[in-house]
Amino acid sequence: MSVKYAILGLLHYKDMHGYRVKELLESNFGNMWTVNYGQIYPALSKMREEGLLTMSEVAQTDAPAKKLYSITPKGKKAFSKWLNSSPEKGLIMRDPFLLRMTFFNFGKKERALDIIAEQIDLYEAQLKLRTENMPKRKQQDVYVHLLADLGVNLNKMMLDWLKRAEKEIAAEEK
């Protein structure tokens, strides 16, 4: 369960509630996460039961009450044990677009080019966003900033590749 350790890691920075955890996991860290409340809220409750976290309710005048979670010494211990263990298996990269692309020999070339163009737009928008966010990340520790850098690199590589793909496919007779 990796959401667990992601949460424990985030709580090293500051106390947080579920809503913020999701926000940070998605935008700030890694660039390569999608988490949803269906994972986060149950995980927080469970971890609290396990004694890794403590919770305190905070009433607010301008917004609904939130549940602030803090990491306990037991939680820190569990996190540090995980951090120093050897990372299992490898990278998982799955993309519905890439799966389709693999089989485009059985489809129409024009449609392939359309879908590639869509992807280029998507990655261009994402690259813009990531580039804009880079300065913020540079103020954080080396690791966070390296990760942000990786996100930008990935994005650039994909764009180069997509544009090359466009040309190669267009050049095919068939």
Partner DNA sequence: CCTCTCATGTAAGACGTTACATGATTCA
Partner DNA sequence: TGAATCATGTAACGTCTTACATGAGAGG
93: contact with a copy of itself by CB under 8 A: yes
Q: How large is the angle between the packed helices 142-171 and 109-138, nearest 10 degrees?
A: 160
Residue type, 152: V
Radius of gyration of the chain measured on its C-alpha atoms: 21
Shortest Cβ 64–a copy of itself spacing (Å): 29
Bridge-partner residues for 57, per DSSP?
Answer: 67
CB nearer a copy of itself, residue 59 or residue 99: 99
- 36 contributes a contact to DNA by CB under 7 A: yes
Nearer to a copy of itself, 67 or 76 (CB): 76
Is there a contact between 79 and 9 (Cβ–Cβ < 8 Å)?
yes
Rounded to a whole number of angstroms, the minimum distance from the CB of residue 159 to DNA is 24
Contacting residue, 36, 60, 61, 102, with a copy of itself by CB under 8 A: 102
Going by C-beta distance under 8 Å and a sequence separation of 6 or more, which residues neighbour residue 25? Answer: 6, 10, 33, 35
Q: Is 38 in the site for DNA (CB under 7 A)?
A: yes
63 vs 106 by CB, closer to a copy of itself: 106
Mark 89-118 with x for binding to DNA (rule: CB under 7 A) and - for no binding. x--x--------------------------
Residues touching a copy of itself: how many (CB under 8 A)? Answer: 62
CB 115, CB 97: distance < 8 Å: yes
d(CA 11, CA 83): 14
